[in-house]
Structure 1
Amino acid sequence: MSQKEASFLSRVRESLPKLQPAERRLGEFVCDFPAELASYSASELATLAQVSNATVSRFVKRLGYENYEAARRHARVEKQSGSRLFLTGSVDSASVQSVEAHVAQGIANVEATFLGISEGQINAVAQAMLDARKVWVMGFRSSHPFASYLQWQMTQVIENIVALPGAGQTLGESLVSLTEQDVVVVFGLRRRVANMDTILEQVRKSGASHLYITDEGVAPMASVTWHFRCQTLAPGPLFNHMAVMGVCHLLATRAIELAGSAGRARLRGIETLNDNLDEL
């Protein structure tokens, strides 16, 4: 990869072994807290990293940037990728956040998320999933466990539902089967795979109704059937996904409610088989 093509953090990491001690200390600081360079002036960064202004100037030039502002612009572009590294500052890492702070933020995330999702939207998605020929649930990286969880919960009332990608399978082997009678749920939480837009376009072309579940970093999208944006703010270094689980729980519960007697019959059948097979 050329230096022009490399990301900001890639440039820093690749340069570390060749840097002088003060510059290496600055480089290691920037690797741990890249948000500081994206947000602060050269003098402020020098103070935080406990190096001189001259060290900052030499450092950015060794990385191949004309000046500090060029390096900061590149870091800001990379910040938009959603990496958690860019959301945590050195001051944040200096103290342990209380349990109360985490709980309070989780509650705030759930409340903010459901302010943007109407009762009608929840009903529409749940009913569409019940009526679909087949339901496909898709997620990659951190989104994959949520796709698997929603598929597992929805199996209580929906027989033909599958989580993607399947083990050993390509997406093409599944997406080729999509029809306009299907519903697709796509989880796109940070950090999203690079080809997410292409995947969404293929789903759209199939004519299938689709729900896109993302974090708040994705602007509202009119090109999808439904877009649920989940708040993921956290006082610590990891994203808080309480609201995402809340959306999954509500969709599954609402689907069971809307399924009525047919749904309850399937649930009874599942429990009967569980007893007969002595699995639980």
Structure 2
Amino acid sequence: MSFLQRVRVALPHLHPAERRLGEFLFRFPGEIASYDAQELARLAGVSKATVSRFVRRIGFAGYEEARRQARAEGTSGSRLFQGHAEHAAGARALDLDMAETKENLDWTFRRIGADELEAVAEAILGARRVWLIGYRISQSFATYLQWQLLKVAPDVQVIPKGGETLGEHLAAMTPDDCVIFFALRRRVAGTDMIIEEILRRGAKLALVTDEGMAPRDDIAWHFLCQTQTAGPQFNHAAVFAVCHQIMQRATLAAGVAARERLRDIEETNERIGFL
């Protein structure tokens, strides 16, 4: 049973102070992972003894056990664990958000080499077809990168589209293809099996994930993007930055051919009155 399920089941049967703590944690479950028992008691407006009784009432041996489970569930990707009861406001909030974004970018690009990005760019330009895979929020990044890469590579597909199964496309992949798989949390069931199938078919694979996935040494390029945030939504600035770098390197590597294709696209749009 998850941490939040334990709280939900116990709420109707709790004493008033324990219920106040339970309702607080139901709104901000990440707080138990972030604070010790004394600090949590202060935030919720209850005593430390109430915190101790509460964690036992929901089935944990002690506070640290409850904290470990909440922390593990937060790492798995639930946005509910990202929200916090205390937030900065105004200019200070903006400063904190920008510092968070910069830290995520720094963390991400300390782990990515220019040679890796250039190798992905070469794989894109040399591919028979480029496949961009993404589910849920990940499909937004796949679509964004397709929009950018179509200016330098003629055959770039986002999969799966509505009503399609992924198997229809996996069956068409060859060793001459390049696949960029966005697998950000919360990942769909079967992510590992999708990766194994792509590898089995011999296509060149670049994997883009958040920091919650362990590095995959069996994949040519695994770009880990830090999405850490103090707010209720993940910070995806580093994911966009990786997309931009892939597009930028591919455009530069394409050289004259990219400029000619861009010019052709612009002239075509002008002829048909689209722009």
Q: Same fold (TM over 0.5)?
A: yes
Q: Compute the TM-score of the two structures, normalised by the length of structure 2.
A: 0.88
The residue aligned with 1:73 is 68
Contact 2:82 2:233 in 1 (8 A): no
Contact 1:101 1:235 in 2 (8 A): no
Q: Is the counterpart of residue 255 in structure 1 residue 223 in structure 2?
A: no
Contact 1:35 1:87 in 2 (8 A): yes
Query: 2:190 and 2:38 mapped to 1: Cα distance?
Result: 38
Secondary structure in 2 matching 1:166: coil
Query: 2:65 and 2:107 mapped to 1: Cα distance?
Result: 36
Per-residue deviation, residues 88-115 of structure 1 (Å, max 9, x unmatched): 4433x36454323323332333333223
The residue aligned with 1:200 is 195
The residue aligned with 2:239 is 244
Query: 1:233 and 1:67 mapped to 2: Cα distance?
Result: 27
Secondary structure in 2 matching 1:34: coil
Cα RMSD after superposing both structures = 2.4
- Cα distance change of structure 1 residues 128 and 20 upon mapping to structure 2, 3 Å threshold: same
Q: Is the counterpart of residue 99 in structure 1 residue 97 in structure 2?
A: no
The residue aligned with 1:152 is 147
The residue aligned with 2:33 is 38
Greater shift after overlay, 71-80 or 161-170?
71-80
Query: 1:110 and 1:94 mapped to 2: Cα distance?
Result: 22
- Cα distance change of structure 1 residues 53 and 217 upon mapping to structure 2, 3 Å threshold: same
Q: Is the counterpart of residue 224 in structure 1 residue 249 in structure 2?
A: no
Q: Is the counterpart of residue 8 in structure 1 residue 3 in structure 2?
A: yes
- Cα distance change of structure 1 residues 95 and 23 upon mapping to structure 2, 3 Å threshold: farther
Secondary structure in 2 matching 1:192: coil
Q: What is the identity, as a one-letter code, of the residue corresponding to 1:144? A: Q
Q: How many residue pairs were aligned?
A: 274
Query: 1:168 and 1:57 mapped to 2: Cα distance?
Result: 50
- Cα distance change of structure 1 residues 42 and 142 upon mapping to structure 2, 3 Å threshold: same
Query: 1:242 and 1:67 mapped to 2: Cα distance?
Result: 37
Secondary structure in 1 matching 2:255: helix
Query: 1:55 and 1:110 mapped to 2: Cα distance?
Result: 40
Contact 1:35 1:85 in 2 (8 A): yes
Query: 1:39 and 1:180 mapped to 2: Cα distance?
Result: 46
1:14 is displaced (CA, Å) by 4.0
Query: 2:11 and 2:133 mapped to 1: Cα distance?
Result: 38
1:118 is displaced (CA, Å) by 1.6
The residue aligned with 1:3 is none
- Cα distance change of structure 1 residues 110 and 38 upon mapping to structure 2, 3 Å threshold: closer
The residue aligned with 1:83 is 78
What 5-or-longer segments of structure 1 have no aligned partner? 1-5
Q: Compute the TM-score of the two structures, normalised by the length of structure 1.
A: 0.86
- Cα distance change of structure 1 residues 104 and 58 upon mapping to structure 2, 3 Å threshold: closer
1:194 is displaced (CA, Å) by 3.1
The residue aligned with 2:162 is 167
1:39 is displaced (CA, Å) by 4.3
What 5-or-longer segments of structure 2 have no aligned partner? none
Q: What is the identity, as a one-letter code, of the residue corresponding to 1:267? A: L
1:211 is displaced (CA, Å) by 0.7
Q: How does 1:103-122 map to 2 (within 5 A)?
A: 103-122=98-117
One of 183, 188, 201 as aligned partner of 1:188: 183
Q: What is the identity, as a one-letter code, of the residue corresponding to 2:219? A: V
Q: Is the counterpart of residue 279 in structure 1 residue 254 in structure 2?
A: no
1:54 is displaced (CA, Å) by 4.8
1:41 is displaced (CA, Å) by 4.4
Greater shift after overlay, 80-89 or 123-132?
80-89
Query: 2:166 and 2:223 mapped to 1: Cα distance?
Result: 23
Q: What is the identity, as a one-letter code, of the residue corresponding to 1:45? A: L
Query: 1:198 and 1:191 mapped to 2: Cα distance?
Result: 16
Greater shift after overlay, 224-233 or 10-19?
10-19
Percent of residue pairs identical: 50
Per-residue deviation, residues 7-58 of structure 1 (Å, max 9, x unmatched): 1112223443454433322112112222332344444433332224454344
Q: What is the identity, as a one-letter code, of the residue corresponding to 2:267? A: T
